[in-house]
């Protein structure tokens, strides 16, 4: 039986999000959340009955049409027209795991009781989450201000019995799935369409997924770098704690300690070294990987603040008897953070490819391109090319989206964050980092075979034993793309304890 998580019972943090992502959970609203939602809904509708003054998005048009007042008998039509007209997403589909997180984060944001939506609407979102009814959402269409309008419109369409969803692994009309589950589409009431479409849940759901991936990639980068340090017969003195305590960046200290832990007991590391210094890609692993760790911590703070916030507009403050039109939907904090994260993750691949290059260069007693009889066999010549091409693509993707802005809605929305583009670019970067690290692991594993009979640490030897079951040592040329894909799958399948990540 699935575990249950009560929305409103705690703050969303990364360990909880990791648990929700990996283990089946059912959501339900806490009593306090239910009370907040109902109180805000009652207040809003009381205001509409007692006052005919225009309130943006509730009884007016949207964007540059904010001064057009809508009659009371057209409010439901206004909200449903909003959802349909804004469902303009194109491009690749958003991964199902990200869509599920979007549902969770939208429910969380509405649970604070500052949005004026009905309990019925929130409960139907929860039914979607619990039954894994995942709306078809597209990656392109959001400017990252006024919220993620187009993606969230596609997320909201199935509530009305419109659009398409994935259910039990297949794509269906939302209306058919609602009937199958004996659920009824809702009739949107005042402000509900705006509450569903305003918000940063597209950007922040990608942000959550990227943080979970990023902490794992940071760990794997350290692990694979440690294997390369031994494969290249490097000194361990650059990882001495004394070096890092006089420049005490948290990530730098943690990286150096982790490398030493991974290499504890290595026969190769204990051997006498003829080389006084090692290339930066080995010697400066703590400084480079550590900076990425510090970036992850900064971005985590931004993302966690965002997902535990109210990001629609206008905001309802029952205790203060006010409805305020503001700009909490603007994605600038996320855009900057996701650009920063993309740059930081790209650097893990950047330095990884340089270690791969050194390993195939015929240095330190290793054969050219890590193969017997180089010349007859090309060995690991071209995997380095592949890594280089991916790293170059990452450099292009890491160009920041947040420095751009395009005027929209007839000048009403005259500065936008482009945070959605930052999110999808960063997601591609993260996938590329896995590929580059997988290629480095192929190379370091091959190089370590040439160090026999000397062994690396017991920890790394046990890892390599499992790895070589998937990617055997190369004795002569074969189709290496299969090995690269197997290496990628090996890294993706590794389960890293959350305690190692945070």
What would the two tokens of residue 48 be?
A: 């509409």
E strands in 412-490: none
Q: Which entry of 56, 219, 340, 467 is annotated as an active-site residue? A: 56
Q: Contact 357/384 with Cβ under 8 angstroms?
A: yes
For the chain, the first-to-last Cα distance in angstroms comes to: 28
Q: Contact 311/270 with Cβ under 8 angstroms?
A: no
d(CA 174, CA 36): 29
Q: Which of 389, 379, 394 is nearest to 346 (CA)?
A: 394
d(CA 407, CA 425): 21
CA dihedral 234, 236, 242, 247 (to 10 degrees): 40
CA dihedral 28, 32, 37, 39 (to 10 degrees): 150
- Output DSSP code: residue 56: T
Query: Judging by DSSP bridges, how do beta strands 138-140 and 315-317 pair with one another?
Result: unpaired
> Which residues lie closer than 8 Å to 237 by C-beta, 6 or more apart?
243
**502 carries an active-site annotation:** no
CA 172 from centroid of its chain's CA atoms:
26
Q: Contact 434/217 with Cβ under 8 angstroms?
A: yes
State the catalytic residues: 56
């Amino acid at each position: 039986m699935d575990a249950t998580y009560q929305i409103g019972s705690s703050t969303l943090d990364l360990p909880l999000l990791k648990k929700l992502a990996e283990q089946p959970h059912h959501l339900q609203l806490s009593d306090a959340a239910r009370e907040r939602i109902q109180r805000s809904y009652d207040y809003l509708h009381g205001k509409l009955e007692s006052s005919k003054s225009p309130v943006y998005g509730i009884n007016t048009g949207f964007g540059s049409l904010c001064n057009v007042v809508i009659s009371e008998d057209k409010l439901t039509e206004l909200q449903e027209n909003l959802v349909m007209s804004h469902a303009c997403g194109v491009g690749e589909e958003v991964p199902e795991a990200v869509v599920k997180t979007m549902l969770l984060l939208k429910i969380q944001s509405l649970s604070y009781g500052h949005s004026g939506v009905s309990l019925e609407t929130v409960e139907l979102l929860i039914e979607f989450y619990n039954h894994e009814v995942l709306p078809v959402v597209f990656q392109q269409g959001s400017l990252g201000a006024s919220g993620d309008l187009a993606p969230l419109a596609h997320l909201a369409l199935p509530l009305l019995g419109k659009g398409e969803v994935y259910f039990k692994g297949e794509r269906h009309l939302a209306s058919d799935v609602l009937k199958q589950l004996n659920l009824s589409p809702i009739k949107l009431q005042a402000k509900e369409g705006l509450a569903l479409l305003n918000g940063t849940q597209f950007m922040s759901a990608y942000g959550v997924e990227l943080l979970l991936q990023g902490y794992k990639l940071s760990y794997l980068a350290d692990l694979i770098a440690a294997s390369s340090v031994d494969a290249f017969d490097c000194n361990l003195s650059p990882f001495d704690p004394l070096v890092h305590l006089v420049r005490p960046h948290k990530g730098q200290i943690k990286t150096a300690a982790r490398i030493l832990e991974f290499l504890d007991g290595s026969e190769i590391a204990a051997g006498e070294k003829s080389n006084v210094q090692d290339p930066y890609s080995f010697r400066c692993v703590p400084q480079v990987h550590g900076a990425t760790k510090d970036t992850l911590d900064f971005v985590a703070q931004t993302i966690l603040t965002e997902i535990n916030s109210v990001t629609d507009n206008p905001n309802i403050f029952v205790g203060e008897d006010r409805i305020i039109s503001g700009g909490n939907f603007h994605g600038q904090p996320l855009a900057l953070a996701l650009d920063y994260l993309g740059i930081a993750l790209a650097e893990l691949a950047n330095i990884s490819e340089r270690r791969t290059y050194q390993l195939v260069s015929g240095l330190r007693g290793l054969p050219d391109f890590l193969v017997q009889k180089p010349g007859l066999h090309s060995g690991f010549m071209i995997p380095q090319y592949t890594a280089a091409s991916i790293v170059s693509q990452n450099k292009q993707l890491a160009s920041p989206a947040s420095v751009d802005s395009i005027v929209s809605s007839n000048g009403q929305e005259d500065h936008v964050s482009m945070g959605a583009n930052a999110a999808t670019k960063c997601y591609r970067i993260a996938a590329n980092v896995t590929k580059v690290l997988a290629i480095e692991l192929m190379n370091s594993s091959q190089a370590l075979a040439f160090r026999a009979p000397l062994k690396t640490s017991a920890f790394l030897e046990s890892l390599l034993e499992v790895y070589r079951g998937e990617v055997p040592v190369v004795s002569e040329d074969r189709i290496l793309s299969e090995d690269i894909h197997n290496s990628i799958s090996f890294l993706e399948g590794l389960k890293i304890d959350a305690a190692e990540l945070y």
